[in-house]
Structure 1
């Protein structure tokens, strides 16, 4: 991967002064999860009043040692007072009870004083309700306003801070802990300005140190890059991993599988008998399927040959469709399983010279949305993860100007790492993440593309 020399320079003493003097962006080095870390939040957590916030307070001591409330509004918490309280590493604001426009003024009153008191790489989560779950048009309108606020707030934050909106349906409160453990921690370092909806789901994580213990996961395209990072992260979280890739990647695949204590499976997912071969290699079935394998064959449509078109659509879209259906039909994908499809922000926004690629990635998003209600009865969730500019060998080989543009065109002002995508996949693979289904989670630093 190419080094991001601009970030290296902008974070030196001289670089900071020069960047500030000429008004250039100054992206911060993002804090990411590291082995040995014990708490999701290592610093102060500020929680507003509110009905969902009360739920958060019940498990907050498992997330952080330092809990505060705004101005001492909650007597059981330490009071946080502007100019006197500590720097804040994490913030939870409960807007779930907002039903009228005048209540939105609480957003300004709460957030304005704290914006200059955030630690580097702080994480903010606003809690709300899905507008389409509300019968009152004014309440629905008010809740929809939270999305615009959250996305704009995320663009105003500095020093690597992020903001998300989590919409919590009735009876989905039991999934708040897993969601906040992810979005308030460095595991979500490269995710910002996103909206996630939690629906009722009974299953929860039993061991937060190994949330995927006892689960078996298949990762396609696992030999290197993002796929390898996903395999490593799932194994870190306790999953038994089956790593799949093409014959050309056999050496790297087997080496990674040996290191992770997993199983290597050399298979062309576009082969006519791929589904049969897969079932034969997985007699005990699976709990998690990550469709990461993908290719690009870029040409403008005027110059796109049928071979280039078909190759991308077959690998990126048809193979996940066929293999997912085969695993469902055979029962190889267990009840309460997880399916994660690797989409792309270009599948949301389009991209010149990639009509085949963007069609395939948009198709994966459509697959997640279409299958989610069908799979609900079995407790199976299906979601798409849409990476933005991720620092890989492929992006390192891009022309300099395109690579720099890709890095800077986001609120966080830099490219992400394969680990960032892997952490999102690992969260969506957890038992409690069955509360999230049919959704698209962008891992893009709040890229302006597809916004």
Structure 2
């Protein structure tokens, strides 16, 4: 769907008019393109007291081929970078006015154990933020507060969430800021997540907090360009919109995609799967026999990734909502997921080491007027993720969810103009997301290198002002 305001204020005349009238000017986001470098430019490194993750960052920067500069807070970085063969230098605050010089800011806060030790965060971002270019990336690394040894350390690590979310709201210009808590022993399982947050693949993900646990199984060897090669992915609601985008991205990452949609959408589903060399299955997932039919259709080859994308809306205030509207939304959006997973897990059709990813919504976090049924179902998706993650850990299966905000789809195109504009602008990036933004987040969670990420709900909402 076309965002006329975004296009206008980024035209030469529109940009001048916006500047003269003081109008907001959302940035055209840089999204991943296969014909453009995924990582390039300069990253500034900062650190707090006794940093524990600089070795992890050095390996990452060397792997993705970026050049680094060390802020004065990261005195250990230069010799460490040299050992990794990295080109590096020192960041001089006097250069802070040269916009666009930096592509990313990385801060290792893992050693901060007391609130009195938070000052280096201010020093680093005070000195570097003005040098971060359009669509730049900010990633703060810490340790999970609940695993900390003392209340003071827990307090200091928890404080990082307020910092990261505030940076996302202050930075503007298409810049995102996210926080990654790396568990003790999970350092070698963090690269896929850090790559995602530094990449244009995370263009519409900001203000998020992700935990990486040490319990995940070591990832088998894979190609970073096609990490899902040899894997089979089941995507419900795959005929069009977000579902089709998910299928396309997973296929581009190397997966064989099995797309499911209702029989009435068979033509669109066939067309989508044909383009991806995938498999089309026309099932009504809410039908009682659907779980058994799906498990049978996947046969002995099984499946490695299950994406529960299918969903419906039947909007009314609850006093006007019929029993059928309530039940239908709960059944399709939530209960069908439970039944399908039960069948696939019981039969062993979802293989050990697999991935389950649900599509929730910020409506499931914040609620929404006229959507009690929808919000209830999407909050239930979050409940499934949180409750099932410990149960599935023994089989190496992760379960996570994405919670989209305002995404430009055929459904949002039908929203009245004033409400649609509010949905677009009420986030830190000042615009709606694209279906591919949801798809890229799902591809990260499906990645073989994301075994340490489970029980998480990641909002794809441009850091919406609604909800937590």
Instruction: Provide the residue aligned with 1:145 in structure 2.
Output: 159
1:301 is paired with a residue of what secondary structure?
Answer: coil
Confirm whether residue 218 of structure 1 aligns to residue 234 of structure 2: yes
Residue in 2 aligned with 1:44? 42
Determine the C-alpha separation between the residues in 1 that align with 2:345 and 2:162: 38
Q: Distance in 1 between matches of 2:230 and 2:436?
A: 22
Query: Does the aligned pair in 2 maintain the 1:289–1:338 contact within 8 Å?
Result: yes
TM-score, reference length from structure 1: 0.97
> Mean alpha-carbon deviation: is it higher for 243-252 or for 15-24?
15-24
CA distance in 2, matches of 1:189, 1:320: 28
The alpha carbon displacement at 1:51 in A equals: 2.1
1:82 corresponds to which of 93, 100, 107: 93
Query: How much is the aligned-residue C-alpha RMSD, in angstroms?
Result: 1.3
Whether 2:364 is the aligned partner of 1:347: answer yes
CA drift of 1:102 comes to 1.8
Cα distance per residue 1:169-195 (max 9 Å; x no partner): 011001221111100010000000000
Matched-pair contact (CA < 8 Å) for 1:41–1:89: no
| Residue 267 (structure 2) aligns with | 251
Deviates more, 1:15-24 or 1:166-175: 15-24
Contact 2:229/2:255 (<8 A) preserved: yes
Contact kept in structure 1, 2:316 and 2:371, CA below 8 Å: yes
User: 1:442 and 2:459 equivalent?
Assistant: yes
**Following superposition, which runs of at least 4 residues in structure 1 exceed 6 angstroms of deviation?**
none
1:132 Cα deviation from its structure 2 partner: 0.7
- 1:138 and 1:370 map into 2 onto residues whose CA distance is 29
Partner residue in 2 for 1:155? 169
1:51 & 1:363 partners in 2: Cα distance? 37
The C-alpha deviation readout for 1:151-178, integer Å capped at 9, x for no partner, is: 1111101110000000010110012211
Cα displacement string for residues 86-119 of structure 1 (whole angstroms, at most 9, x for unaligned residues): 7111111000100111211111100011111111
Unaligned runs of 5+ in 1: none
- 1:102 and 2:103 aligned: no
- Superposed displacement of residue 23, structure 1: 2.7
Structure 2: 5+ residue runs without aligned partners?
A: 83-87
Structure 2 residue 421 is the aligned partner of structure 1 residue 404: yes
Cα distance in 1 between the residues matched to 2:25 and 2:65: 29
1:65–1:147 distance in 2 versus 1, CA, 3 Å: closer
Question: 1:302 aligns to what SS in structure 2?
Answer: coil
Corresponding residue number in structure 1 for 2:85:
none
How far does residue 317 in structure 1 lie from its aligned partner after superposition?
0.6
Query: How far does residue 16 in structure 1 lie from its aligned partner after superposition?
Result: 2.3
Counterpart check, 1:132 vs 2:131: no
Partner SS, residue 116 of structure 1: helix
Structure 2 residue aligned with 1:273: 289
Alpha-carbon distance in structure 1 between the residues aligned to 2:177 and 2:229: 30
Q: What residue number does 1:187 align with?
A: 201
* Superimposed CA distance per residue, residues 29-56 of structure 1 (whole angstroms, 9 cap, x where no aligned partner): 0000001334x32211122243202211
Asked whether the 8 Å contact 2:217–2:396 carries over to 1, the reply is no
CA contact (8 A) 1:44 1:64 kept: no
Q: Alignment length, in residue pairs?
A: 449
- Counterpart CA distance in 2 for 1:110 and 1:58 is 21
- Residues 314-347 of structure 1: per-residue CA shift (max 9 Å, x gap): 1001100110111111110000000000000000
Q: Matched residues in 1 for 2:190 and 2:91: separation?
A: 23
The equivalent position to 1:391 in structure 2, one of 368, 389, 408, is: 408
Q: CA deviation at 1:407?
A: 0.0
1:426 corresponding residue in structure 2 = 443
* Segment drifting more, 345-354 vs 13-22: 13-22
Please report the TM-score for the alignment, with normalisation by the length of structure 2.
0.94
